[in-house]
Amino acid sequence: LTVIRKNGPIRLTELASCIGVGKPSVSRQIAFLESIGLVVKEADPLDGRAQTIRLTDEGEAKMHQVQDARRQVFRERLGEWPVEDLEALAAYMAKLNATYERDGFPRDGAS
């Protein structure tokens, strides 16, 4: 869902490539997500023979809900840490992100 949200409407083959799994596996996952109303398939405006996948309004709302819950957990856990430890974590995270960017990976991963 994160990749779909970040990239907007995306073809199944491109989605599979982004997350590093086979098309059949992604196809099953998308079918499930479509069955519960989180994504929808639409005709690709650039190629009517192909389909793109996009989040529905419900899918977008679910993504906001998940992100809010993650942020709250981080606030709770990291709220106990001394400022010096938080600064060190931030420096290491910046270093890790720079390594990923250098190697051509997206910053936010593919969850």
Q: Give pLDDT, residue 111.
A: 39
Residue 103's pLDDT is: 76
Predicted confidence at residue 106, as pLDDT, reads 54
Q: What are phi and psi of 87, to 5 degrees?
A: -65, -40
Strand partners, 43: 51
pLDDT digits (tens, 9 = 90+) for 53-108: 999 999 999 999 999 999 999 999 999 999 999 999 999 999 999 998 887 765 44
- Residue 10: how many CB atoms within 10 A of its CB? 19
Strand partners, 51: 43
Read off the pLDDT of residues 23-59 as tens digits, 9 standing for 90 and up: 999 999 999 999 999 999 998 888 878 899 999 999 9
Domain boundaries, given as residue ranges, for the chain: 2-102
**Range 2-102 has CATH code 1.10.1840.10:** no
